[in-house]
């Protein structure tokens, strides 16, 4: 798989990396959550909610039925929150406030199909009670007037239909009288039709009269039943409950804001936090890891773990004869302490010196009095049998040409989440250009739940860049023996030695590999 195919197969957002990045930024979202908690408490203490008055109104619906699902009450709530009701209430209060603004200060809630709860806010308790009373009276007046108007309209319509039936009955009565005056000459069939029509019209007139009377009787029932059943009263306010509610809301909002900010910054900054990402971008395997150092404590547990890692690194560099460097990227104190531990481990088998090129590390103070010498860059040349460990940095602003004097091979000490992807590529490219192989990477402050593999498993043409090997000397070809010329058909003399081109094309043995950059892996 080429590097282009790998780039296409990688997801746009790695969820595992996102979760680890957000978890590593827990200080950020915990701080925002704490800030939201404090702000919520301050709002509850210094900006208390205004006084609130509550009233309950019993609403009698003329068309109410047991199967009603609350549609009539929802209609009443919608009517309550109209500018007409607000205007009538403001008139009762003699207030000049705009109805649109007054609508924001109260709301209605249907408790049951016939009980409406009214909640009103104001600047003072007396004003809240007065507003609740005015709104209740305005709603009841409007509701009764609306039902009376509807009943009157229905009654009028029924009476109009009754009058129309009576007007139609008058000619029928006259026709019956005329037909009966004929005595024997009267048409029985005609009289039968007239009698049937008169009976039908009389029935309609009686029905219209009854319905009109019922419509008139329904309005007093609604007017008498619709009333205030719970007078306006001020809701009791608990400071502790308000404080807990506001602080809880502030905590939730602050936590959400912090998590969102942490997720966005982790995606934008693009700083690798997983071992597999650090290994892939640097082109070298992760060979050890160390926890985050504690600034104000020197625990024996952390020191023991660091010495164990130093012993592992010593075994990795003991085979070589040239100087080795430790280059820091975001973990200066850990790099210095690790270099001192490696030097003490190597001092058991011979003289060792440290080349201090790491700013603000106090390498001499860490080494103390002992067999390990601490030198500045450019001091005495390497003595026979002496091992040197150069300690430097690959932070932004590094003089790349000076890294060659610290060591022919290097071990990178990288703190997770410190450098972005672009800078890791820069470090790998600069080291490869200077023919400095990366023995391995020591990861500092890894995520405890990071179980990704930091070992490179790809082939040489995709995972590594260049080689730093010990080239074998070309063997001296043996002299060609002079054979007597024999003319034999189909026989050739054997080649006494391999061609030089075949020897040149043979793979040379290697002991270390430098990182490969995805940009020119195919060219290599």
HEC string of 287-321? EEEECCCCCCCCCHHHHHHHHHHHHHHHHHHCCCC
- pLDDT of amino acid 379: 63
- pLDDT of amino acid 2: 47
**Sign (positive or negative) of CA dihedral 244, 250, 253, 254:** negative
**Short-list 405, 514, 412, 411, CA closest to 469:** 514
The pair of three-digit structure tokens given for residue 54, joined into one six-digit string? 């509550």
pLDDT higher at 115 or 378: 115
The pair of three-digit structure tokens given for residue 320, joined into one six-digit string? 């070589």
Adjacent-strand bridge partners of 393: 328
- pLDDT of amino acid 385: 73
Residue 459 confidence (pLDDT) above 70: no
Residue 374 confidence (pLDDT) above 80: yes
- pLDDT of amino acid 294: 61
- pLDDT of amino acid 490: 45
- pLDDT of amino acid 7: 47
> What is the rounded average pLDDT for all residues in the chain?
79
Poorest-pLDDT segment among 74-78, 130-134, 208-212, 506-510: 506-510
Q: What is the mean pLDDT of residues 409-437?
A: 90
What is the rounded distance in angstroms from the CA atom of residue 53 to the CA atom of residue 120?
5
Q: How confident is the model at residue 120 (pLDDT cuts 50, 70, 90)?
A: very high
Measuring CA to CA, how many Å separate 453 from each of 24, 117, 403, 424?
Answer: 19, 64, 29, 18
Q: What percent of the chain has pLDDT over 90?
A: 24
- pLDDT of amino acid 368: 78
Residue 481 confidence (pLDDT) above 60: no
pLDDT higher at 217 or 54: 54
Contact (CB, 8 A) for 446 and 275? yes
Residue 1 confidence (pLDDT) above 60: no
What is the rounded distance in angstroms from the CA atom of residue 407 to the CA atom of residue 249?
57
What is the rounded distance in angstroms from the CA atom of residue 520 to the CA atom of residue 111?
74
Q: How confident is the model at residue 77 (pLDDT cuts 50, 70, 90)?
A: very high
- pLDDT of amino acid 297: 47
Listed in sequence order, the residues at least 6 apart from 252 whose beta carbon sits closer than 8 Å to its beta carbon are 36
Q: How confident is the model at residue 64 (pLDDT cuts 50, 70, 90)?
A: confident
**Chain center to CA of 431:** 38
3-state secondary structure of 52: strand
User: Which range has highest mean pLDDT (241-245, 251-255, 313-317, 503-507)?
Assistant: 251-255
**Short-list 415, 414, 451, 441, CA closest to 20:** 451
Adjacent-strand bridge partners of 388: 353
- pLDDT of amino acid 90: 93
Q: What is the mean pLDDT of residues 27-54?
A: 89
**Short-list 237, 225, 245, CA closest to 128:** 237
What is the rounded distance in angstroms from the CA atom of residue 22 to the CA atom of residue 310?
31
Contact (CB, 8 A) for 470 and 319? no
What is the rounded distance in angstroms from the CA atom of residue 408 to the CA atom of residue 464?
17
Q: What percent of the chain has pLDDT over 70?
A: 81
**Short-list 152, 151, 143, 150, CA closest to 59:** 143
Q: How confident is the model at residue 243 (pLDDT cuts 50, 70, 90)?
A: confident
Burial class of 28 by CB neighbour count within 10 A (0 to 12, 13 to 18, 19+):
middle
Q: What is the mean pLDDT of residues 314-342?
A: 86
What is the rounded distance in angstroms from the CA atom of residue 267 to the CA atom of residue 263?
6
pTM: 0.57
The pair of three-digit structure tokens given for residue 464, joined into one six-digit string? 């590594």
At 127-166, the pLDDT tens digits run 999 999 999 999 999 998 888 888 888 888 888 888 888 8
Q: Which residue has the tokens 């915990």?
A: 30
- pLDDT of amino acid 320: 67
Contact (CB, 8 A) for 278 and 443? yes
Residue 56 confidence (pLDDT) above 90: yes
**Short-list 14, 17, 27, CA closest to 261:** 27
Q: Which residue has the tokens 């060979």?
A: 287
Residue 496 confidence (pLDDT) above 60: no
Contact (CB, 8 A) for 403 and 358? no
Listed in sequence order, the residues at least 6 apart from 474 whose beta carbon sits closer than 8 Å to its beta carbon are 500, 503
Rounded to a whole number of angstroms, the CA Rg of the chain reads 48
pLDDT higher at 281 or 485: 281
What is the rounded distance in angstroms from the CA atom of residue 197 to the CA atom of residue 176?
10
Q: What is the mean pLDDT of residues 212-232?
A: 81
At 244-295, the pLDDT tens digits run 888 999 999 999 999 999 888 878 778 888 888 888 888 888 888 888 776 5
Q: What is the mean pLDDT of residues 348-358?
A: 86
- pLDDT of amino acid 251: 93
The two beta strands, 52-58 and 227-234, are: antiparallel
Residue 214 confidence (pLDDT) above 80: no
Poorest-pLDDT segment among 95-99, 410-414, 519-523: 519-523
Q: What is the 3-state secondary structure (H, E, C) of 394-436?
A: CCCCCCHHHHHHCCCEEEEEEECCCCCHHHHHHHHHHHHHCCC
């Amino acid at each position: 798989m080429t590097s282009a195919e790998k780039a296409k197969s990688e997801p746009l957002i790695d969820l595992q990396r996102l979760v680890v990045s957000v978890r590593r930024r827990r200080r950020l979202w915990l701080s925002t959550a704490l800030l939201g908690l404090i702000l919520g408490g301050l709002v509850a203490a210094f900006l208390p909610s205004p006084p609130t008055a509550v009233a309950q109104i019993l609403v009698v619906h003329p068309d109410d039925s047991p199967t009603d699902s609350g549609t009539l009450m929802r209609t009443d709530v919608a009517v309550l929150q109209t500018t007409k009701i607000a205007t009538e209430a403001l008139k009762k209060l003699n207030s000049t406030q705009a109805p649109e603004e007054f609508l924001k200060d109260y709301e209605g809630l249907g408790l049951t199909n016939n009980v409406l709860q009214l909640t009103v806010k104001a600047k003072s308790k007396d004003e809240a009670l007065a507003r609740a009373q005015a709104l209740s009276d305005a709603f009841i007046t409007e509701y009764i007037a609306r039902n009376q108007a509807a009943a009157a309209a229905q009654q009028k319509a029924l009476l109009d239909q009754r009058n129309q039936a009576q007007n139609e009955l008058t000619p029928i009565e006259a026709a019956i009288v005329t037909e009966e005056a004929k005595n024997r000459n009267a048409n029985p069939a005609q009289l039968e039709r007239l009698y049937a029509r008169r009976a039908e019209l009389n029935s309609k007139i009686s029905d219209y009269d009854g319905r009109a009377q019922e419509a008139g009787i329904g309005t007093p029932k609604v007017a008498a039943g619709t009333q205030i059943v719970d007078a306006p009263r001020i809701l009791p306010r608990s400071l502790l409950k308000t404080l807990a509610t506001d602080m809880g809301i502030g905590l939730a909002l602050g936590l959400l804001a912090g998590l969102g900010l942490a997720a966005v910054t982790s995606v934008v900054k693009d700083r690798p936090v997983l071992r597999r990402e650090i290994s892939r971008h640097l082109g070298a395997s992760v060979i050890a890891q160390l926890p985050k150092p504690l600034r104000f404590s020197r625990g024996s547990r952390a020191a023991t773990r660091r010495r164990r890692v130093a012993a592992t690194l010593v075994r990795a560099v003991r085979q070589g004869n040239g100087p080795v460097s430790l280059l820091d990227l975001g973990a200066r104190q850990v790099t210095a302490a690790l270099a001192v531990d490696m030097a003490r481990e190597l001092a058991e088998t011979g003289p060792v010196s440290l080349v201090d090129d790491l700013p603000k590390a106090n390498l001499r103070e860490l080494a103390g009095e002992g067999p390990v010498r601490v030198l500045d860059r450019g001091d005495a040349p390497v003595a026979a049998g002496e091992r040197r460990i150069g300690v430097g940095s690959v932070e932004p602003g590094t003089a790349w040409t000076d890294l060659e004097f610290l060591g022919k091979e290097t071990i990178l000490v990288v703190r997770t989440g410190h450098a972005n992807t672009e800078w890791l590529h820069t470090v790998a490219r600069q080291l490869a250009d200077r023919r400095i192989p990366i023995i391995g990477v020591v990861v500092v402050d890894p995520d405890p739940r990071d179980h990704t593999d930091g070992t490179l498993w790809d082939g040489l043409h995709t995972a590594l860049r260049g080689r730093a090997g010990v080239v074998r000397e070309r063997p001296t070809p043996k002299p060609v023996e002079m054979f007597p010329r024999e003319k034999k058909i189909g026989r050739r003399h054997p080649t006494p030695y391999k061609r030089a081109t075949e020897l040149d094309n043979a793979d040379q043995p290697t002991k270390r590999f430098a990182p490969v950059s995805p940009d020119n892996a195919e060219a290599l």
